[in-house]
Amino acid sequence: MTNPDLGTSPDEVQFRFRDDEPADHGTVTVDACCDQTNATAVRIEPGDDARTLLPFLDRLALIEVNFPAYGDGRGYSSARILREAGYAGELRAVGDVLIDQLSHMRRCGFDAFAPDQRLDEDDAARAFATWDNVYQRTVDGRKTIQETRHE
């Protein structure tokens, strides 16, 4: 059973880095997702263990990761864990998503953003483009500075 109050609609997605149609399904909680076999969209809260979802990744088209407060960084680990496990569907950051967190979220595998408060488009564009080069290997597949140095 989906909860109509849970989850964001495609209209609320302000930035999206995917070519497919935005998934428009009501999301369910992680517990509900494990119990019902037909759920295709799920919402992860900071205290949820993202690895609980690993058996169901094939049927999921949308995973929302909620940031009730921007300072709670658990969602960054959840995102990377899902991508490391091969999840290829939409990974949407929702909640208290602000300009200055965008570039790090992108690096952790988020490819859609539905902030509670719409963000300034110019500020956001600058934020996404902050780093020409990066030090860490993550799931975004970008070549690291150290790899470039030793090509």
Partner 1 sequence: MYSYDQYDQQMVDARVAEFRDQAHRRLEGKLTEDQFKPLRLMNGLYLQLHAYMLRVAIPYGTLNSRQMTALGDIADKYDRGYGHFTTRQNLQYNWIKLEDAADILADLAKVEMHAIQTSGNCIRNISSDHFAGAAADELVDPRPYAELLRQWSSFHPEFTYLPRKFKIAVIAAEKDRAAMRLHDIGIQIIEKDGEQGGEIGARFYVGGGMGRTPMIAPMIRDFVPLDQLITYSEACLRVYNRYGRRDNKYKARIKILVHELGAEEYTRQVEQEFAHMLDQGVEPPREELERIKPFFDDPAFEDGAKHVDRSDPDFALWVDRNTHRHKHDSYVSAVISLKPVGGIPGDATGEQIRIMARLAKQYSFDELRIMHTQNVVLPHVKIEDLHALWTALDAADLGAPNMDSIEDMIACPGLDYCALANARSIPLAQRISEKFDASGKTEKLGELKLKISGCINACGHHHAGHIGILGVDRKGVENYQLSLGGSEAEDTSLAKITGPGFTEDGVIEAVEKVTDVYLDAREDGERFLDTYRRIGMAPFKEALYD
CA distance 143 to 104: 15
Asked if residue 121 binds partner 1 (CB under 8 A), the reply is: no
Out of 3, 9, 36, 130, the residue judged to bind partner 1 by CB under 8 A = 130
Q: Nearest CA to 14 among 115, 97, 106?
A: 115
Stretches 2-10, 21-29, 31-39, 125-133: which one binds partner 1 (CB under 8 A)? Answer: 125-133
Asked if residue 116 binds partner 1 (CB under 8 A), the reply is: no
Report, in Å, the least distance between residue 40 CB and partner 1: 25
Asked if residue 57 binds partner 1 (CB under 8 A), the reply is: no
| Of 9 and 136, CB closest to partner 1 | 136
Out of 77, 86, 88, 143, the residue judged to bind partner 1 by CB under 8 A = 77
Report, in Å, the least distance between residue 46 CB and partner 1: 8
Residue 146 one-letter amino acid = Q
Q: Is the dihedral of CA 68, 44, 88, 137 positive or negative?
A: positive
Report, in Å, the least distance between residue 28 CB and partner 1: 22
Out of 15, 28, 80, 89, the residue judged to bind partner 1 by CB under 8 A = 80
The two three-digit tokens of residue 33, written as one number: 């997702």
Q: What share of the chain is helix, strand, coil (3-state, %, to 5)?
A: 35, 15, 50
C-beta atoms surrounding 121 within 10 Å: 10
Report yes or no: 43 and 28 within 8 Å, Cβ to Cβ. yes
Asked if residue 33 binds partner 1 (CB under 8 A), the reply is: no
C-beta atoms surrounding 102 within 10 Å: 24
Site of interaction with partner 1 (CB under 8 A): 46, 49, 70-74, 76-77, 80, 84, 98-101, 103-105, 107-108, 120, 123, 126, 130-138, 144-150
